[in-house]
């Protein structure tokens, strides 16, 4: 890589500027605009970072036009076909595929740390039954900083390694507990004779009084889905992890920010949104073509969830693989899900329709995952949680890269101010305007809050009986 060679000339307000050019191994190279403000007094403006690279990275490569995704140079298809979740975690975090000895050590370092401190039970029990499991998991990951104060120093490699094992091992346990608490089911202790994924399935679906035997097809399918979700370079949640980490916050705290970002429906929450969309179309007996017309007309701002991607302007390579897994799992479990037929119909319409073709909107990873998770027995609210378990190695790798990068500075974007110019403070009697409206609004908000609270109490009573 040939960094910081001044080869980009920019003319701005009649001034010629030579800006450092940062060359990529593959994909977009960059023009370093760091000196711009110093030289011109102006900043760049790029909402949503459509054109801004925040970092150099050697973890994941995506070619969105060609539909290519590679972790550390290895194509995602090969990893999903041949590798295991923990081997991929090792690869992402350490940069190379492990030898057998390295892998054995890594797997055992993770798999023996699945147990949560007993006090986590009361923490999880304290949340309302209908709490979203992503919120519960975010709180749980954040709480790891309180239980494991021996591994919080971001600059101590041994401590960071220990925190990484803890995250990989304990997050699936937390996910399972978040699910069981919402069901009012007893929490099981992990069984470390089992693999991480079998353990997670048992903790989620098992019963204290019976032996749980996981279906190997389901275990492998879940493993492949976790691999497909393991990293995706500088997406919203990875950027959140890096941004929080750039303030030297510890790994647990940084990753809990990533979980928050992932919960949004425009990001990881899309897999649940796809299911809700398919259910709504079925329940309302809507013709898929009519639904697509509503999407194209942007009625009520609806979108075809699970379609489109900031980076992929081609078929998401993960979506192709997911479709295959959906076929395998449904066949194995003997399930015929009409939602799969409906999703395929919507895809067929979209791929032939000018609206989607012109905007290069293709299925993303979330379009078919929900159907598989449903077949496995997960409720819709758990879909994004599964995504978060998968993404854990990527977040850890991104955070590590950030913390070791000598160019890392605290993430602190500039802004272009559009508010009032300087004005004098006005004493209360001199102010005119909207006091009554604000009071009415406040009363309406209080009333809505009171009703929501009553509804929640009533619901909890119903659940308790």
Say if residues 245 and 410 touch (Cβ distance below 8 Å). no
The string of DSSP letters for 341-408 reads: HHHHHHHHHHHH-HHHHHTT--B-THHHHHHHHHHHT--GGGHHHHHHHHHHHHHHHHHHHHHH-TT-
Say if residues 242 and 398 touch (Cβ distance below 8 Å). yes
Residue nearest to ligand ACO (CB): 308
Binding ligand ACO (rule: CB under 6 A), the pick from 110, 144, 238, 295 is 295
Compute the least distance from the CB of residue 307 to ligand ACO, in Å. Answer: 4
Nearer to ligand ACO, 129 or 296 (CB): 296
Compute the least distance from the CB of residue 242 to ligand ACO, in Å. Answer: 16
How many CA atoms lie within 13 Å of 415's alpha carbon, on the beta-carbon side? 3
Binding mask 250-269 for ligand ACO (x = CB under 6 A): ----------------xxx-
**Active-site pick, 300, 366, 404, 464:** 366
Part in contact with ligand ACO (CB under 6 A); list of ranges 2-10, 130-138, 201-209, 300-308: 300-308
Compute the least distance from the CB of residue 297 to ligand ACO, in Å. Answer: 10
Q: Helical H runs in 184-215?
A: 196-205
Nearer to ligand ACO, 143 or 171 (CB): 171
Q: Locate the DSSP E strands across 98-204.
A: none
Whole-number Å distance between alpha carbons of 264 and 403: 26
Binding ligand ACO (rule: CB under 6 A), the pick from 133, 288, 306, 393 is 306
- Catalytic site includes residue 82: no
Nearer to ligand ACO, 178 or 270 (CB): 270
**Active-site pick, 309, 316, 336, 404:** 309
Whole-number Å distance between alpha carbons of 240 and 435: 38
Compute the least distance from the CB of residue 256 to ligand ACO, in Å. Answer: 18
- Catalytic site includes residue 104: no
**Span 163-192, contacts to ligand ACO by CB under 6 A:** none
Nearer to ligand ACO, 126 or 413 (CB): 413
Binding ligand ACO (rule: CB under 6 A), the pick from 309, 323, 339, 391 is 309
**Span 352-371, contacts to ligand ACO by CB under 6 A:** 359, 361, 364-366
**Span 111-140, contacts to ligand ACO by CB under 6 A:** none
Binding mask 378-397 for ligand ACO (x = CB under 6 A): --------------------
CB atoms within 10 A of CB 460: 12
Say if residues 368 and 343 touch (Cβ distance below 8 Å). yes
Compute the least distance from the CB of residue 45 to ligand ACO, in Å. Answer: 16
Compute the least distance from the CB of residue 63 to ligand ACO, in Å. Answer: 16
Whole-number Å distance between alpha carbons of 32 and 52: 10
Nearer to ligand ACO, 148 or 387 (CB): 387
Compute the least distance from the CB of residue 267 to ligand ACO, in Å. Answer: 4
Compute the least distance from the CB of residue 70 to ligand ACO, in Å. Answer: 17
Angle ∠(113,219,333) on CA atoms, nearest 5: 150
Binding ligand ACO (rule: CB under 6 A), the pick from 80, 92, 228, 305 is 305
How many CA atoms lie within 13 Å of 248's alpha carbon, on the beta-carbon side? 4
Nearer to ligand ACO, 166 or 391 (CB): 391
Q: Helical H runs in 36-132?
A: 36-40, 76-82, 85-94, 100-111, 119-125
Does 313 help bind ligand ACO (rule: CB under 6 A)?
A: no
Nearer to ligand ACO, 160 or 261 (CB): 261
Instruction: List phi, psi (to 5°) of 16.
Output: -90, 130
CB atoms within 10 A of CB 102: 14
Compute the least distance from the CB of residue 400 to ligand ACO, in Å. Answer: 22
Place of tokens 């991607």: 309
Say if residues 306 and 363 touch (Cβ distance below 8 Å). yes
Instruction: List phi, psi (to 5°) of 253.
Output: -65, -40
Whole-number Å distance between alpha carbons of 345 and 335: 18
Q: How many chain residues are in contact with ligand ACO, going by CB under 6 A? A: 18
Per-residue exposure over 294-323, b if at least 16 CB sit within 10 Å of its own CB, e if not: ebeeeeeeeebbbbbbebbbeebbbbbbbb
Nearer to ligand ACO, 240 or 361 (CB): 361
Q: Binding residues for ligand ACO, per CB under 6 A?
A: 266-268, 270, 295, 303-310, 359, 361, 364-366
- Active-site positions read 309, 366
């Amino acid at each position: 890589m040939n960094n910081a060679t001044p080869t980009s000339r920019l003319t701005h307000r009649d001034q010629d500027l030579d800006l450092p050019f940062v060359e990529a191994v593959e994909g977009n190279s960059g023009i370093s605009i760091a000196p711009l403000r110093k030289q011109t007094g102006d900043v760049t403006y790029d909402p949503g970072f459509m054109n801004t690279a925040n970092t150099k990275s050697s973890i994941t490569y995506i070619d969105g036009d060609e539909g290519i995704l590679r972790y550390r140079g290895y194509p995602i298809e090969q990893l999903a076909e041949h590798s295991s979740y923990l081997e991929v975690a090792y690869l992402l975090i350490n940069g190379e595929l492990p030898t057998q000895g390295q892998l054995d050590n890594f797997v055992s370092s993770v798999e023996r740390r699945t147990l949560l401190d007993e006090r986590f039970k009361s923490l999880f029990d304290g949340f309302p039954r209908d709490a979203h499991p992503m919120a519960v998991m975010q709180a749980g990951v954040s709480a790891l900083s309180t239980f494991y104060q021996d591994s919080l120093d971001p600059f101590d490699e041994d401590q960071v390694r220990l925190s990484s094992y803890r995250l990989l091992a304990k997050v699936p346990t937390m996910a399972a507990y978040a699910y069981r608490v919402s069901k009012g089911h007893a929490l099981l202790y992990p069984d470390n004779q089992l693999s991480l994924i079998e353990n997670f399935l048992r903790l989620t679906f098992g019963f204290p009084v019976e032996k749980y035997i996981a279906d190997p097809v389901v275990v492998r399918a879940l493993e492949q889905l976790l691999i497909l979700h393991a990293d995706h370079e500088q997406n919203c949640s990875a950027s959140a992890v890096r941004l929080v980490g750039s303030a030297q916050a510890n790994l647990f705290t940084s990753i809990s920010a990533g979980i928050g970002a992932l919960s949004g429906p425009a990001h990881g929450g899309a897999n649940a949104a796809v299911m809700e969309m398919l259910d709504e179309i079925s329940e309302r007996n809507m013709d898929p073509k009519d639904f697509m017309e509503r999407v194209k007309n942007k009625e009520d701002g609806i979108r075809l969830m699970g379609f489109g991607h900031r980076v992929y302007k081609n078929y998401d390579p993960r979506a192709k693989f997911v479709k295959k897994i959906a076929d395998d799992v449904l066949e194995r479990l003997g399930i015929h899900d009409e939602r799969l037929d409906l999703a395929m119909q919507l895809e067929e319409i979209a791929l032939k329709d000018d609206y989607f073709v012109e905007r290069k909107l293709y299925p993303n990873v979330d379009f078919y995952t929900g159907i598989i998770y449903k077949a496995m027995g997960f409720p819709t609210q758990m879909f994004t949680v599964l995504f978060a378990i998968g993404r854990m190695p990527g977040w850890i790798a991104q955070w590590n890269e950030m913390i070791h990068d000598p160019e890392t500075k605290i993430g602190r974007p500039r802004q272009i101010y559009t508010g009032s110019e300087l004005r004098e403070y006005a004493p209360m009697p001199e102010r005119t305007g909207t006091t009554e409206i604000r009071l009415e609004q406040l009363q309406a908000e209080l009333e809505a809050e009171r009703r929501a609270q009553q509804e929640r109490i009533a619901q909890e009573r119903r659940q308790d009986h």
